[in-house]
């Protein structure tokens, strides 16, 4: 889901940054306000954790392996604003130091993965889990559904970014300049593969980790203040 440079036109990359700059500003303000001084390293640890879980190869049916993103999991553990910062930091490091994802596309990638996935996943998690106890099955189901839908929504916004390229940038002779597939192809292709394969990987990983934490440290999966 990391968009490399070259697929998106400059306007889309600029809109990605324009959308993310205020989000990063608000996230920094909220996190600074809510995080105790002793918890400052937690944000860095959260970013490193999300970077590392993206590297785990998870066995999926058919003998192959897939990767999880972990944004909803980090949002459940740290809250959506802190998750936005942690995942953004992981994406910036991946892009700048490991060439995974474009530098100009950092804004777009952070919008889809760090913001959309964290917030939508966290919202769904809170909505379904309600005021249930930390060890309840409802919370486990909520985490799974949130991870599945959060990733699918992130794939949807990514596919929109790809799909609008032929509409925005096409020459008179019909030559495409950036991502060649319109919305009719990009949305079903991206959303479809996430609904069928990667959404389930995300769901399984999130459920397993939440289940583990329910047994070990149940208060960790309760949103702040509950």
Contact 141, 122 (CB under 8 A): no
Closest approach of other proteins to the CB of residue 203, in Å: 11
- Choose between 161 and 204: whose C-beta lies nearer to other proteins: 204
Closest approach of other proteins to the CB of residue 177, in Å: 6
As a whole number of angstroms, the distance between CA 211 and CA 10 comes to: 43
- Choose between 123 and 180: whose C-beta lies nearer to other proteins: 180
Most distant CA pair in the chain, distance? 62
Closest approach of other proteins to the CB of residue 51, in Å: 5
Closest approach of other proteins to the CB of residue 145, in Å: 17
Total residue count of the chain as it appears in this document: 226
- Choose between 37 and 131: whose C-beta lies nearer to other proteins: 37
Residues 6+ apart with CB under 8 A from 114: 71, 83, 84, 85, 86, 87, 88, 91
- Choose between 59 and 223: whose C-beta lies nearer to other proteins: 59
């Amino acid at each position: 889901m990391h968009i490399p440079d070259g697929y998106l036109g400059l306007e889309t990359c600029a809109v990605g940054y324009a959308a993310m700059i205020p989000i990063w500003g608000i996230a920094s303000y909220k996190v600074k306000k809510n995080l105790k001084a002793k918890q400052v390293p937690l944000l860095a640890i959260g970013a490193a954790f999300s970077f590392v879980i993206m590297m785990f190869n998870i066995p999926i049916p058919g003998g192959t392996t897939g990767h999880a993103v972990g944004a909803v999991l980090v949002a459940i553990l740290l809250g959506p604003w802190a998750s936005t910062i942690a995942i953004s930091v992981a994406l910036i490091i991946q892009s700048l130091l490991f060439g995974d994802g474009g530098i100009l596309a950092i804004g777009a990638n952070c919008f889809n993965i760090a913001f959309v996935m964290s917030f939508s996943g966290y919202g769904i998690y809170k909505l379904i889990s309600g005021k249930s106890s930390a060890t309840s099955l409802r919370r486990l189901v909520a985490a799974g559904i949130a991870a599945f839908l959060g990733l699918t929504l992130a794939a949807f916004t990514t596919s929109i970014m790809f799909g609008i390229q032929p509409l925005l940038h096409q020459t008179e002779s019909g030559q495409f300049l950036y991502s060649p597939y319109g919305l009719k192809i990009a949305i079903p292709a991206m959303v479809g593969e996430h609904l069928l394969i990667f959404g389930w990987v995300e769901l399984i990983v999130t459920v397993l980790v939440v289940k583990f934490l329910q047994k070990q440290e149940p208060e960790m999966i309760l949103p702040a203040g509950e």
